[in-house]
Structures are given as structure tokens and as C-alpha cells.
Amino acid sequence: MAKKKKIEETSEEKVLEEKIENEKKINEKEVSEQEASKNESNEELDKLMKQSQEYFEGWQRERADFQNYKKRIERDQASLKEYITSEIIKKYLVVIDDMELAFKNRPSAEECQGWIEGINLIYQKLISILEGEGVKIIPVDGEFDPNIHEALSQIDHADVESGRIVDVMRKGYKIGDRVIRPALVIVAR
């Protein structure tokens, strides 16, 4: 009986050991499946993070491109406005030239003084409108600059150094850095 009991205990121990062994295998299998699932989840998370980063960088590039586009459009519009303004103003500069020529040759009769003052007021209004649009007279005192002056001729002049402006035949005008019309000048040799 004791042998039978020992055999039963031994077989129970074997069964118990087998159960424990099976549970260990099942646990190991579950752990390895969980780790595999975890690794897959981590890989998927990494993949999504990388994709998210790519989308974010792409968005940043597009936003920067859009900002640059807006700035370029604003510059182009400002340049176009300046160009259109200068083209329109060129047409009125001829009138200003004629008025200045008329002032140089105005009559001295007393009866014309009221008329001359009226014309002078019109001239001043026209000049103030041009100044309001940013138009400035190109300076003609000093050295000749081919970027803003146009030389009609060169003359020998004892009192003026070579390369300096002697006389102005027609005023020049500019808006900002854009020359609307260069000043026509005579330069000393």
C-alpha cells in the first residue's frame, strides 16, 4: 500500500510537474506573443511618428513657401504700382516743364500779375501732388552720375572741375530708387 501510495504520489508529482511545465510553456508563449505584439506596436508607433514628423516638416516647408510667395507678390505689386505711377507721372512732367519755361519768360506787365499768380498756384498744386506720390527731383549739384543724369554735351569751363555739372537743361525725377526721367545736364570737361 505504501508502494501504491508512493506510485500515486510519484505519478501525481509527474502530472503536477507536467502541468507546471505546460503552464510555464503557455506563459512563455504568452509573454513572447505579448513581446512580439509590443514590438509590432512599437514598430507601428515608430512608423507613425516618422510619418507624423514628415508631414510636419512638409507643412512647415509649405508654410514657408507660402510666406515667401506672399512677400514676392507684395513686392511685385509695389513694384507694379511704382511703375504705373511713374508712367502716368511722365506724362505730367512735360506740363511741368512747359510751366517752368513759361515762368522763365513771363511778362512783366502789371495787368498780368493776377493771372501769373493763379498759374503759379496751379503749378504748386501739381508739384505737391507729385510729392504726395513720392516723386522727388533728382539733385543736379555736384558730380555727374550716369545713373540719374543724362549729359547733353560737355563744355570747357574755367571755374568748374571736369566731370561736374555746369547747367541743367531739364529737371530729372525719381520715385524711391526708380528714375522716372533722368536730368538733362551739361557737364564740364
pLDDT tens, position by position, 20-51: 888 888 888 887 788 877 888 888 999 999 99
Nearest to 88 by CA among 130, 45, 53, 48: 130
pLDDT tens, position by position, 105-135: 887 778 788 888 888 899 999 999 999 988 9
| pTM to 2 decimal places | 0.60
Arch. (CATH architecture) of 50-188? Roll (2.30)
Provide, for the chain, the percentages of residues in helix, strand and coil under a 3-state DSSP scheme, each rounded to the nearest 5.
Answer: 65, 15, 15
Q: Mean pLDDT over all residues of the chain? A: 87
CB-based contact 137:172 (threshold 8 Å): yes
Domain residue spans of the chain:
50-188
Q: Tell me which DSSP letter residue 182 carries.
A: P
pLDDT tens, position by position, 160-186: 888 889 989 999 999 888 899 999 999
CB-based contact 82:175 (threshold 8 Å): yes
